[in-house]
Amino acid sequence: MNSITPAEHPFAQFVRILGKGKRGARSLTRAEARVAMGMLLDGAAEDTQLGAFLMLLRHKEESAEELAGFADAVRARLHAPQLPVDLDWPTYAGKKRHLPWFLLAAKALAQSGLRILMHGGGEHTAGRLYSEQLLELLEIPLCHDWPQVGQALDQQGLAFIPLADWMPGLQRMIDLRNVLGLRSPIHSLARLLNPLRARCGLQSIFHPGYQAIHREASHLLGDRVIVIKGEGGEIEVNPDSPCLLLGTAEQGCWDEEWGAVSLQRHVKPGQLDPGKLLTVWQGRETDDYGLQAITGSIALALRGLGEPREAAFEQARAIWAQRLHKST
C-alpha cells in the first residue's frame, strides 16, 4: 500500500530557519520577515507555528532586518489615511514604580500645538498601571478607528487608539504573553510601527542592546526616531538617572547622553494614586519627581523634532507653565 507524504506547511520554512540548531539556524532576511509576518497576520499559519516562531525569535533575539521586515508587513495591511502627525508615542509597558507622568507631558505638548498619536496594547501584565486606564481621567480621547483619530487630532491635538482596533492580529500575539509565559518580540515591534508616519517616533526599549537594534530598524524603514530606556519601559525621562538618546535624522544616526536632572534620587512612592496626575495637571498639587519627569519628557519630544538640548528644556518648562492658561 502506497503512503502519501503530507506536504510541508508553507510557514514551516520560517520556523526551520530560526530553529535549526546552533550551527544551522540564522536570522531572517528583511524579505523573509515580511513574508512570515504577513502570513501570521493573514491567518495563514497554525497556532503551534505562531507560538514556536515567537519563542524562537525571543530566544535568538530579533535583528534590525527582521523588525523592519515585520513592520513592512504591518504597514502593507494598515489602510490608514494620511493624517498629519508630529509625534508617534507608543505606550505598551505600563508603570509600577512611578505614576505615568509622560501622559501629562503628551497633554502639554498637544496643548502647545503639536499633534500626537498614542497607541497601546492593553493591560497584559498584572500589577501595572496602563495608559488605557487613565484616558478618561485625563480627558485624552479614546479612539477606535482612524476617522475618530483624525477628529481628535483636529480638536485636541492628541489621540489614543488601542492596537486591537488597527492591527488585531498583533494584539492577539501580545495576548499570548500569559499562555507562553514570556513576552514576545511583538511587544517591541509595536513600538516602532509608527502607523501614521509621524514626523518623529519616540520609542522606549528597556533591555540593554535592544535600543540600537530598534534605532537601526527605524533607520532601515526611513523613519526619524529617538530611542531611550525610559522609566518602567515607557517614554518617560527618569530624572534620577542619566538618559542615553539614540536618534536618527536625515544626516544619519546620532547619540546624545543627558545627565541626571536630580541631584539625589527620589523616594519611590508607596502606592500609585492616579488622582495625583490630575491634581498636578490642574496646579492644585506639586510633585518634584513628577515635574522633572514631565519637563524631561517634553524636552525629549522636542529634541526628536530637531530642537537642541538646551532649547528643548527651556521650551519644555515654558510649555508646562503655559498649560494652565489654555483650555483643556
* Domains 12-76 and 87-325 agree in fold: no
- Report the predicted TM-score, pTM, of the whole model to 2 decimal places: 0.93
Helices (H) and strands (E) in the chain, counts: 15, 7
| Element of type H or E holding 42 | none
Domain ranges of the chain: 12-76, 87-325
Q: Which alpha helices (DSSP H) does the chain contain, by range? A: 12-19, 21-24, 30-41, 47-60, 64-76, 102-111, 146-156, 163-166, 168-174, 177-180, 186-189, 210-221, 275-281, 288-304, 309-322
AA identity, residue 111: Q
Task: Write the pLDDT tens digit of every residue in 117-151.
Answer: 999 998 767 778 999 999 999 999 999 999 999 99
Q: Per DSSP, what are the bridge partners of residue 258?
A: 243
Q: Per DSSP, what are the bridge partners of residue 89?
A: 118
Instruction: Copy the grid coordinates of residue 39.
Output: 502570513
User: Residues 150, 300, 305, CA angle at the centre, nearest 5°?
Assistant: 55
What pLDDT does 37 receive?
A: 97
CATH of 87-325, one of 3.30.1360.170, 1.20.120.1630, 3.30.1300.10, 3.40.1030.10: 3.40.1030.10
Say how many CA atoms lie within 13 Å of 93 toward its Cβ.
23
User: Residues 31, 179, 188, CA angle at the centre, nearest 5°?
Assistant: 40
Instruction: Copy the grid coordinates of residue 283.
Output: 496646579
| Contact yes or no for 276/137 (Cβ under 8 A) | no
CATH of 12-76, one of 3.40.190.10, 1.20.970.10, 3.40.50.150, 1.10.10.10: 1.20.970.10
Sequence-distant (≥ 6) Cβ neighbours of residue 102 within 8 angstroms: 89, 91, 230, 234, 235, 236, 293, 294, 297
AA identity, residue 300: L
AA identity, residue 58: R
| Element of type H or E holding 312 | helix 309-322
| Contact yes or no for 37/74 (Cβ under 8 A) | yes
Q: Quote the CA–CA distance of 239 and 262 in Å, as a whole number.
A: 6
What pLDDT does 71 receive?
A: 98
What pLDDT does 208 receive?
A: 76
What pLDDT does 1 receive?
A: 54
Enumerate residue ranges in the chain where pLDDT < 70. Answer: 1-3, 124, 326-328
Q: Quote the CA–CA distance of 168 and 238 in Å, as a whole number.
A: 32
DSSP 75: H
What pLDDT does 328 receive?
A: 44
